[in-house]
Copies of this chain bind each other. A is one copy, B any other.
Amino acid sequence: MSSDGPRLRADARRNVEGIRTAALDVFRAHGLNSPLDEVARAAGVSKGTIYHRFGGRQGLIDAVVEELVAERILGIITAVRAIEDPVERFESYLRQIWLLQYDEPAANDVLLRALPGSEPIAALCEHASKVAGGFLGDAQATGAIRDDLTEEDVYLLIWERGIIARACDQQHRDGFVRSFEHTLRGLRAGS
């Protein structure tokens, strides 16, 4: 997990770790678009060092995204898989993803695909979409979920919620939930 070629000098290694940690904190709190100066300050280094070590925001994100987000998303998938009823499984998946988007701005940024050109992120999104598609199919097979719903619709719903979550700015959590429950009801067959 930590073999990047030549071996760094002691201070450099220390800084890389410090920056990673700071980035985790800052990104978790304010999303992946936080000013890099803030990360630098939190790490007790200068901005230049981040550019030097990680090549800019994209590199920094790549370096922390796994720890920051992947496990949360994969955790949801795993947890939801255990639900037997396909409809409940599908709805639960959406609920959990939506809440994650609300609670973790960084996860939200990832799901919104707001980060062009990062391979691990793209892969993660791809996977999540496939999984969602599976859940959707199973749920539709029971007849309880509208069958004109597509995988793309599901992604759209997630995207929209993400945009909303981003604008909410840590308030109104119950309004957020209340409102996505309306949408969820609208996905059921026979309205």
A182 at the interface (CB under 8 A from B): yes
**In whole angstroms, how far apart are the Cα atoms of A63 and B23 in the complex?**
45
- The 8 Å CB contact of A183, one of B153, B167, B182, is B182
How far apart are A33's CB and chain B's nearest CB, in angstroms? 14
**In whole angstroms, how far apart are the Cα atoms of A160 and B157 in the complex?**
12
Residues in B neighbouring A175, C-beta threshold 8 A = 156
- The 8 Å CB contact of A185, one of B163, B178, B181, B185, is B185
Residues in B neighbouring A182, C-beta threshold 8 A = 153, 157, 183, 186-187
The range of chain A's interface size is 10 to 19
- The 8 Å CB contact of A179, one of B157, B178, B185, B191, is B157
How far apart are A139's CB and chain B's nearest CB, in angstroms? 14
Interface centre among A167, A178, A181, A182, by most B CB within 10 Å? A182
Residues in B neighbouring A185, C-beta threshold 8 A = 185-186, 191
How far apart are A126's CB and chain B's nearest CB, in angstroms? 20
Residues in B neighbouring A181, C-beta threshold 8 A = 186
Q: Considering the complex, which residues of chain A in the window 62-100 have a beta carbon less than 8 Å from any beta carbon of chain B? A: none
How far apart are A184's CB and chain B's nearest CB, in angstroms? 7
Using a CB–CB cutoff of 8 Å, the interface residues on chain A facing chain B are 153, 156-157, 160, 163-164, 167, 175, 178-179, 181-188, 191
